[in-house]
Structure 1
Amino acid sequence: MFKKSLSLVLYAHQEYMHHVDDESHSQWHKSLFPLMTNMYIPLLQAFENMEQDNVDFNVSMVVTPVLCSMLKDPILQEHYIVWLDRLIEFGEAEIKRYESQPLLKKNAEMYLDKLLDTKEYYQNILECDILKKLVYFADKKNVELLGTTATPLFLPHFADFPESINAQIEAGLISHKHSFGIKPDGFWLPFMGYVPGLENYIKLYGYNYTIVDTHGLLFAKPVPKNGIFTPVRTKNNLAMFARNYDSYLEGCNDCDFFQSDNYRCEERDIGYEASKEDLSELLYADGARFETGFKYWSRKSSTEQVYNPEVASQQVQIDAETFLNKNAKKLEEAEKICNTNVSLIDTLYLQDLGRNWYESVEWIEQIFRQANKREDIQIEKVSSLINNPYTLQEVKPSISAATPSGYGQELLDNSNSWMLFYVRKATERMLDLAVRFDENTGLKARILDLAAKELMLAQSSDWAKLVHLESNADFADERFRMCIKNFTTVYESLGANQMSTAWLTEIEKQDMLFEWMNYRFFSPKR
């Protein structure tokens, strides 16, 4: 009997949100802090629970350099604890408010207990360092951490700028070593955007495998004899896997496995429903409302049904079993046809799951717990699926991307195409600066490093994605323009040989990430 394996690849990312003094304008509270509370910290706690129960789990993860930078930011860490304290105080008031409504009070007590536990775990166990715990599990061989680019740019858009692709991959590799202290084996293609030739850049930096979208391999030449169920290799011996076509696609919220009526309704939050008097201690100075995480209703829309966490947990177990059964059946059929070891790669986008499915971490944990008791399927890290890359079938993968269109068209449409014009022009200018000022040090090198950082932030396709989705589009538009403006200021200052140290210091404080940045990443490789 051949081995039938499933690999889960968890992708953790967050659009860069710079520090501002006025908390009422901070995006952290609206997006990153809820994800830390509902996804990243509970996921580490789930790993610890499985470790304590001797449940064997193997998972591959991508934690992008942008997210790593924010999670390590001491200002953000301080703000997060203050934010938790405000919610804890609010939770105590909620319990009093629902004294006469036992079902709602029970949920309020549950949320308060979770907030208290989260604060205790974050401050005293993690010591405000989420990444350190990931390193712990990586050292124990439970977690495999993949590398990626410094910012999630859609690489096919820059295929004619080899120095820029090299710079992004090299900066991403250095970030990985700074954050985790280990060299990654696998490379994550942002948006799984692939065009022929990218394998040369990836292999150049010591990566051994990457993952493309399903049709990237199914349309390869020659057609892979085992389809997506075994890895293949490119001419330069970079192993390639294909995403399971049934797995979760970034930005899609209609996946079957989190649509049960028993799950918590994510659209209804007391932060938007309660009166301003009840929220007086929580609202910002300008009166702006935001999600509190206190959500009392189930997804059942026909009635005002109070959320029942016990019933939701039972549904999680059912859905985890359904997920494993579906993949086990697919692998069993593939084994009969391929007559060899077969595998599937399922990708899960934690940012989307954390926003749309409260029970998602519990579901992930249940997948591992149930898989431990089964013989028809085993969960392995992606790197474990490669025995000898030189024996894999050699193919030429097809152009592809893991977007609804399959080719990244959403990142270049009439709503956001103007962005690419500006960022490509800035890229041309950065390559020119890297050649003209190759040997500079001191203040000039410092301002060139800032230019490289601002360009990489502008190159991120996050902004185009948000504009296309009309989700936080104003923030994306403003952030992109700011990066281009900052880069252009540097470019023109260098041309005029006039640099303001006060302005430089202000921007460096505003964008406190990539402290290891070196503008020579963009220099031609000799």
Structure 2
Amino acid sequence: PDKHLYNPDWARDTAERHARDFVDRCRDQAVRASSRMPVPAVLVSPYDAELFGHWWFEGPQWIYYILRELAHGGPLAAGTPGEYLAAHPVQQRAMPAPSSWGRNGYSEHWVNPRTEWMWRPLHEAAARMTRAVQAYRAGGGPRSANAGSLEERALCQAGRELMLAQSSDWPFIITNGTTEEYARRRFNDHLHRFHELLSSLEHRNIDAPQLEALEYMDAIFPELDYRLFAPAEEAACA
């Protein structure tokens, strides 16, 4: 196709125009909904921020113009969920329907014949993590986090490896058929490290240098607390 040179001024003007239109539509929606509710309506507006600038170069500008438009006042204002609940603490409860921003609004981009092999190992790993935390605490492990012990470091790192294996990027990439081998390798590598860590914990033969290497290599969430993987009732009492 015939493409023109990118003009940042035109793009910025378009982002501003689209932001103004978006706010107008949201304002109308909020006013209509509020007229049928005992409290002001709230529109939750989450975004996959890593796509801004990556898939949508003007995305950050669009957000900027939205916030600027909302600052003008009127029946619609920006705020956090916590601020809204503080002002209106009595709310109805509802169970949201399963949905996503993916194709057709559900999960088919992540759960399909090309990726179905991934889900059973993930569920089994999550269940194993819960059992490992329960067993550690039942066997005398402290009920408070102590990041200095090898056992707790291994549990925390196993949690990191599990969360990395659970990344939605891997089935997304496989479904797209782009860097499929890379996604398969990352998925399998993180699950392998996860199971190796828990097996070493169960057999009381944790390899300290290997654990340190994994902590350096897969260093997400440095403050991760393994107790988060306990059953809900136990985690609440921790």
Q: TM-score, normalised by structure 2?
A: 0.76
Q: Distance in 2 between matches of 1:505 and 1:328?
A: 52
Alignment check: 8 A CA contact 1:455 1:483 kept: yes
**Does the alignment pair 1:488 with 2:198?**
no
Matches within 5 A, 1:367-406: 367-373=66-72, 375=74, 377-386=76-85, 387-390=87-90, 392=91, 394-403=92-101, 404-406=103-105
Could you tell me which residue of structure 2 aligns to residue 475 of structure 1? 182
1:3-82 correspondence to structure 2 within 5 Å? none
| Alignment check: 8 A CA contact 1:320 1:366 kept | yes
Report the Cα offset of residue 359 of structure 1. Answer: 1.7
Whether contact under 8 Å (1:317, 1:363) holds in the other structure is: yes
Instruction: Write 1 or 2 for the structure with the bigger share of strand.
Output: 1
Preserved CA contact (<8 Å) 1:449 1:519: yes
- The one of 57, 61, 65 aligned to 1:366: 65
Bigger RCO (CA 8 Å, 6+ sep): 1
Residue 144 of structure 2 corresponds to none
From the superposition, tell whether residues 436 and 368 of structure 1 become closer, same or farther in structure 2 (CA, over 3 Å). Answer: closer
Kept after mapping to 1: 8 A contact 2:16/2:62 = yes
What is the alpha-carbon distance in structure 2 between the residues aligned to residue 436 and residue 341 of structure 1?
47
| Deviation for aligned residue 1:372 | 2.8
Q: Which amino acid aligns with 1:388?
A: H
Q: In structure 2, do the counterparts of structure 1 residues 504 and 464 end up closer, same or farther at CA, with 3 Å as the change threshold? A: same
Q: C-alpha displacement at 1:346, in angstroms?
A: 2.4
State the SS of the aligned residue for 1:344. Answer: coil
Q: In structure 1, the residue corresponding to 2:47 is in which secondary structure?
A: strand
Q: 1:442 to 1:401 in 2, by over 3 A?
A: same
* Percent sequence identity over aligned pairs: 23
Residue aligned with 1:354, SS: coil
Indicate how the Cα distance of structure 1 residues 311 and 510 shifts in structure 2: closer, same or farther if over 3 A, else same: same
Show the counterpart of 2:20. 321
Deviations 1:191-237 (A, max 9, x none): xxxxxxxxxxxxxxxxxxxxxxxxxxxxxxxxxxxxxxxxxxxxxxx
**Does structure 2 retain, via aligned residues, the 8 Å contact 1:423–1:458?**
yes
Secondary structure at 1:514 match in 2: coil
User: In the alignment, which of 416, 424, 442 is matched to residue 115 of structure 2?
Assistant: 416
Is residue 170–residue 184 contact of structure 2 (8 Å, CA) maintained in 1?
Answer: yes
Do the aligned partners of residues 371 and 388 (structure 1) sit closer, same or farther apart at CA in structure 2, a change above 3 Å counting?
closer
How do 1:56-455 and structure 2 match up within 5 A? 301-302=1-2, 304-338=3-37, 341-373=40-72, 375=74, 377-386=76-85, 387-390=87-90, 392=91, 394-403=92-101, 404-438=103-137, 439-440=140-141, 442-455=149-162
Counterpart Cα distance in 2 of 1:504 and 1:460: 21
- Unpaired stretches in structure 1, ≥5 consecutive residues: 1-300
Post-superposition CA distance 1:176-201 (Å, at most 9, x none): xxxxxxxxxxxxxxxxxxxxxxxxxx
CA displacement at 1:370 relative to structure 2 = 2.7
CA displacement 1:383-404 (0-9 Å, x = unmatched):
33333333x3x34425322244
Give structure 2 stretches of 5+ with no counterpart: 142-147
CA distance in 2, matches of 1:445, 1:488: 15
How large is the Cα RMSD of the aligned pairs? 2.9
Q: CA deviation at 1:340?
A: 5.8
Instruction: Tell me by how many angstroms 1:485 deviates.
Output: 0.8
Is this contact kept in 1: 2:39–2:88, CA < 8 A? Answer: no
After superposition, the Cα gap between the structure-2 partners of 1:338 and 1:306, relative to the gap in structure 1 and judged at 3 Å, is: same
Q: Is the 8 A contact 1:457 1:483 kept in 2?
A: yes
Give the Cα–Cα distance (whole angstroms) in 1 for the partners of residues 50 and 93 of structure 2: 33
Rounded to whole Å, the distance in 2 between the matches of 1:446 and 1:395 is 38
Counterpart contact for 1:371–1:378, Cα < 8 Å? yes
CA distance in 2, matches of 1:339, 1:355: 41
| Cα deviation, residue 456, structure 1 | 2.7
Establish whether residue 462 from structure 1 lines up as the match of residue 161 from structure 2.
no
SS in 1 for 2:192: helix
* CA deviations over 1:72-91 (Å, ceiling 9, x no partner): xxxxxxxxxxxxxxxxxxxx
* Mapped pair 1:514 → 2:216: no
1:363, distance to aligned residue in structure 2 (A): 1.9
Structure 1 residues 316 and 495: CA distance shift in structure 2, 3 A: closer
Distance change in 2, residues 1:515/1:406 (3 Å): same
Distance 1:522 1:375 in 2: 44
Q: Is the 8 A contact 1:431 1:522 kept in 2?
A: yes
Q: Give 1:486 shift.
A: 0.7
Q: 1:411-450: CA deviations, max 9, x gaps?
A: 3221212112112222233233223333358333333332
Q: How many residues align?
A: 223
Contact 1:415–1:468 under 8 Å retained in 2: yes
Aligned letter for 1:444?
E
SS in 2 for 1:342: coil
Structure 1 residue matching 2:44: 3-state secondary structure: strand
